[in-house]
């Protein structure tokens, strides 16, 4: 069994709090790929940010030909147009939090990193999207090192699932909770503020347990595992919800707890939808209003 150490979560800085309080509508930017099937990527991000009470804007890094059965093609957006999108939103909108998802190659990672450094949003959540639910590779292997050295050190939180955690650390894929615990030290060596290691792939477990890992302690977050095939876009949705809650002024631990509560409910209501013939999407608007 994992031993859980409880400690006070990282507080919101006075500068970030001032930025949050200066706007009536918290604005969250998602930088990610477009999912033509609507269940993941930019489309899932916008739904999650909206459903959790923030305003969503977007920068598209790639177009995917994708549905509930898988990804059949990926077309990266030319760098010039990624950069123009970033300048357009940052120069006009008071963006408090940024969620970064699919970045197809090293060049796009470098452009996004440069713009994050230039505009300095209060919060950065990075979902290191490498592998789709269907198993399709979404990030070129050559770009993984660029992601680790350029972008991840800027993040307040990264949200890898187990295959992504293994790819980032060069570890074996965890098959049990003890294996997740054994990965903690390697994840700390990534030089990031905090890591949310998601245990959803341990499908044999009764609960879906995640580890929120800081440099000096970690928290185990538990939710009842829900039996459904409709889990397309769960990672995109969770990271976007966390960014939304950070933009609203919650500290990191509370934002993660609220995000996990939101995604658990979205998964629990997923079978109310009838979308596609593969892994369908979660139900982002299960509540019917923004209070989730």
Tell me which of 22 and 252 has the higher pLDDT.
Answer: 252
**Residue from 101, 231, 257, 259 carrying the catalytic annotation:** 231
Structure-token match 């789709």, residue found? 132
Give me the pLDDT at residue 13, please: 56
| Contact (Cβ atoms closer than 8 angstroms) between residue 194 and residue 245 | no
pTM attached to this predicted model:
0.88
Q: Is 198 a catalytic residue?
A: yes
**Residue from 38, 41, 235, 280 carrying the catalytic annotation:** 235
Tell me which of 19 and 88 has the higher pLDDT.
Answer: 88
Query: How far out from the chain centre does Cα 127 lie?
Result: 4
Q: Is 233 a catalytic residue?
A: yes
Short-list 228, 162, 222, CA closest to 195: 162
Residue 135 has pLDDT above 70, yes or no: no
Structure-token match 């990193």, residue found? 113
**Residue from 47, 61, 236, 237 carrying the catalytic annotation:** 236
Q: Is 257 a catalytic residue?
A: no
> Hey, what domains does the chain have and what are their CATH numbers?
25-159+229-272 (3.40.1190.20)
Helix 252-268 and helix 234-247: axis angle, to 10°? 140
Section 128-133 average pLDDT: 74
**Residue from 47, 148, 198, 260 carrying the catalytic annotation:** 198
Q: Is 6 a catalytic residue?
A: no
**Residue from 169, 234, 257, 280 carrying the catalytic annotation:** 234
Residue 120 has pLDDT above 50, yes or no: yes
Q: What is the pLDDT of residues 36-62, one digit of tens each?
A: 999 999 999 999 999 999 999 999 999
Long-range contact list for 272-278, CB < 8 A, 24+ apart?
Answer: 273/230, 275/38, 275/39, 275/68, 275/230, 276/37, 276/39, 276/67, 276/68, 276/69, 277/68, 277/69, 278/67, 278/68, 278/69, 278/70, 278/134, 278/229, 278/232
Give me the pLDDT at residue 71, please: 87
Q: What is the pLDDT of residues 187-246, one digit of tens each?
A: 999 989 999 999 876 766 677 889 999 999 999 998 888 889 898 999 999 999 999 999
Provide the percentage of residues in the chain whose pLDDT is more than 90. 68
pLDDT level of residue 5 (50, 70, 90 thresholds): very low
């Amino acid at each position: 069994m994992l031993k859980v150490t409880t400690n006070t979560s990282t507080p919101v800085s006075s500068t970030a709090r001032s930025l949050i309080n200066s706007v009536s509508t918290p604005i969250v930017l998602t930088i990610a790929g477009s999912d033509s099937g609507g269940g993941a990527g930019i489309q899932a991000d916008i739904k999650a940010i909206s459903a959790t009470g923030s305003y969503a804007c977007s920068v598209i890094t790639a177009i995917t030909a994708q549905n509930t059965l898988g990804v059949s093609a990926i077309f990266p957006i030319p760098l010039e147009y990624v950069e123009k999108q970033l300048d357009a939103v940052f120069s006009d909108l008071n963006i408090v939090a940024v969620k970064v998802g699919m970045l197809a190659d090293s060049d796009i990672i470098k452009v996004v990193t440069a713009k994050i450094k230039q505009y300095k949003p209060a919060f950065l959540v990075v979902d290191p999207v490498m592998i789709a639910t269907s198993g399709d590779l979404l990030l070129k292997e050559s770009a993984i090192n660029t992601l680790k050295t350029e972008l991840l050190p800027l993040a307040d939180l990264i949200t890898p699932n187990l295959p992504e955690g293994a790819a980032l650390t060069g570890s074996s894929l965890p098959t049990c909770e003890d294996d997740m615990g054994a990965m903690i030290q390697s994840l700390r060596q990534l030089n990031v503020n905090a890591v949310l290691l998601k245990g959803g792939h341990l499908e044999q477990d009764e609960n879906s347990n995640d580890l929120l890992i800081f440099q000096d302690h970690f928290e185990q977050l538990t939710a009842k595992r829900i039996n459904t095939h409709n889990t397309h876009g769960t990672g995109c949705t969770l990271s976007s919800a966390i960014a939304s809650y950070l933009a609203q002024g919650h500290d990191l631990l509370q934002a993660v707890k609220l995000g996990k509560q939101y995604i658990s409910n979205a998964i629990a209501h997923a079978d109310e939808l009838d979308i596609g013939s593969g892994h369908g999407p979660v139900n982002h608007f299960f509540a019917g209003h923004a209070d989730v």
